[in-house]
Amino acid sequence: MELPAYNLTTLFDQLGLPSEETAIDDFIEAHPLDADTKLIDADFWSPQQAQMLKEWLRADGEEAIMVDELNVRLHRGK
């Protein structure tokens, strides 16, 4: 079984954010989302980052899977 080449490290790299595992965990803990806030509407994204996230979700490929994972983790705060 082939594993996806896309992961949260790659996603964070593409967003221009620190992409080490601890940096990703720290980001998620520092930016929890409440149930009513959509990932792409979060106020901590730049307009460019929000647009990239929208495009990845629309593409419905490997990137969308990682955006979904990030969404779940931000809503859980972990």
Q: What is the DSSP string of the chain?
A: -PPPS--HHHHHHHHTS--SHHHHHHHHHHS---TT--GGG-TTS-HHHHHHHHHHHHHTSHHHHHHHHHHHHHHHT-
Give tens-digit pLDDT for 4-51. Answer: 457 899 999 999 999 999 999 999 999 999 999 999 999 999 999 999
What confidence category does residue 60 fall into, taking pLDDT thresholds of 50, 70 and 90?
confident
**Domains in the chain: boundaries:** 8-12+20-76
The hierarchical CATH code for the domain 8-12+20-76 is: 1.10.10.1130
Say which residue the tokens 């809503």 belong to. Answer: 75
pTM of the predicted protein model: 0.87
pLDDT at 18 (0 to 100): 97
